[in-house]
């Protein structure tokens, strides 16, 4: 039987499943890969309301419901697993979030191992490294400081187990540092501060504001991810997704304050076990995938401010 044109493209195009596809990174990665002629299957359970309306083709489903039959039916050969309960502070108070992160990944890896999936890109986090004196490279030791980070470390061991179990399947862990941008969830530090400034509310800093993070603008992150996925030759078990520079939280607040002269900053108790500093060593991304930081922090924050001012008016 001769396949239809639709069946032909489904079979021979790169068919990628993206979990968490309504999320901040997932939605924009789905769009970028679709524009690059990939066939994208998007899933999300919408437990977190997206800032923008989700794509009409998105399938509302839990990751735990994905089985090998689903992957075979959709001819999925690559998976980008972005779905997670990722609020670090909340993970101390809702322990089920860490359990869910492990459970969904275990079930997804097992489905992949029993189907035709050849590549899996697993969203990890700099939180797996905890606080270390040096800039963090892909070989830094695991040193989790939160239940969320522990769940992500557990996923790393799962990845190793399933690559031993199914040797045709390669898994790359994407160690995200702090990606930010206009459609990021408002519980994250930059949009949280921006919205408070727009609404003439105090910015609340947990601790003294000296804690620092490596911030990368969303467009730079999406370019990095697209380059990784399109490169079918090089394989790395771990890749750091970060700018290579750190900025203190008080500096973020002051950048925003420069756009809102009457803004007040208030300090409260630090969050439990907060890591002081995260900085990415992104040498592999620079040398192998041509990473460059095109959007600097002040410009990126201004884009976030302009976006939310427009939404608030």
In 189-235, alpha helices (H): 189-198, 218-230
Q: DSSP letter string over 96-108? A: HHHHHHHHHHHHH
**Domains of the chain by start residue, with CATH:** 8-179+218-241 (3.40.50.720), 181-213+244-274+295-307 (3.90.25.10)
pTM of the model: 0.93
Question: How far is 267 from 283, CA to CA, in rounded Å?
Answer: 36
Instruction: Tell me the torsion sign for CA atoms 144, 147, 153, 154.
Output: positive
71's CB contacts (< 8 A; 6+ apart) are 17, 79, 111, 112, 115, 116, 117
Q: Which residues pair with 265 in a beta bridge?
A: 203
Question: How far is 245 from 214, CA to CA, in rounded Å?
Answer: 5
Task: Per residue of the chain (313 residues), give pLDDT as tens.
Answer: 444 444 444 445 689 999 999 999 999 999 999 999 999 999 999 998 888 777 788 999 999 999 999 999 999 999 999 999 999 999 999 999 999 999 999 999 999 999 999 999 999 999 999 999 889 999 999 999 999 999 999 999 999 999 999 999 999 999 999 999 999 999 999 999 999 999 999 999 999 999 999 999 999 999 999 999 999 899 999 999 999 999 999 999 999 999 998 899 999 999 899 999 999 999 999 999 999 999 999 999 999 999 999 998 8
H helix or E strand, kind and range, residue 151: helix 147-165
Question: How far is 302 from 308, CA to CA, in rounded Å?
Answer: 10
Asked if residue 46 lies in contact with residue 22, where contact means CB atoms within 8 angstroms, the answer is: yes
């Amino acid at each position: 039987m001769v396949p239809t044109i639709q069946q032909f493209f489904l079979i021979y195009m790169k068919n990628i499943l993206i979990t968490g596809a309504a999320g901040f990174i997932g939605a924009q990665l789905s769009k970028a890969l679709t524009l690059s002629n990939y066939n994208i299957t998007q899933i999300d359970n919408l437990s977190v309301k997206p800032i923008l309306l989700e794509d009409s083709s998105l399938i509302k489903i839990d990751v735990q419901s994905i089985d090998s039959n689903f992957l075979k039916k959709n001819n999925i050969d690559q998976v980008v697993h972005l779905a997670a309960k990722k609020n670090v502070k909340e993970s101390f108070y809702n322990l089920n979030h860490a359990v869910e992160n492990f459970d969904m990944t275990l079930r997804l890896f097992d489905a992949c191992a029993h189907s035709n999936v050849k590549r899996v890109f697993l969203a990890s986090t700099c939180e797996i490294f905890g606080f270390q004196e040096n800039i963090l490279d892909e070989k830094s030791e695991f040193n989790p400081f939160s239940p969320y980070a522990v769940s992500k470390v557990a996923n790393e061991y799962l990845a190793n187990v399933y690559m031993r179990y199914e040797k045709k399947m390669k898994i790359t862990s994407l160690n995200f540092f702090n990606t930010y941008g206009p459609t990021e969830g408002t519980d994250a530090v930059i949009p949280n501060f921006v919205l408070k400034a727009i609404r003439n509310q105090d910015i609340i800093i947990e601790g003294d504001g000296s804690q620092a993070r490596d911030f990368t603008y969303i467009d730079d992150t999406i370019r990095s991810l697209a380059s990784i996925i399109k490169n079918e030759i090089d394989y790395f078990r771990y890749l750091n997704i970060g700018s290579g520079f750190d900025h203190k939280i008080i500096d973020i607040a002051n950048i925003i304050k420069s756009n809102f002269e009457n803004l007040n900053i208030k300090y409260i108790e630090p969050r439990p076990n907060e890591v002081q500093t995260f900085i990415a060593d992104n040498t592999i991304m620079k040398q192998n995938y041509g990473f460059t930081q095109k959007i600097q922090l002040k410009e990126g924050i201004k884009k976030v401010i302009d976006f939310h001012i427009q939404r608030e008016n």
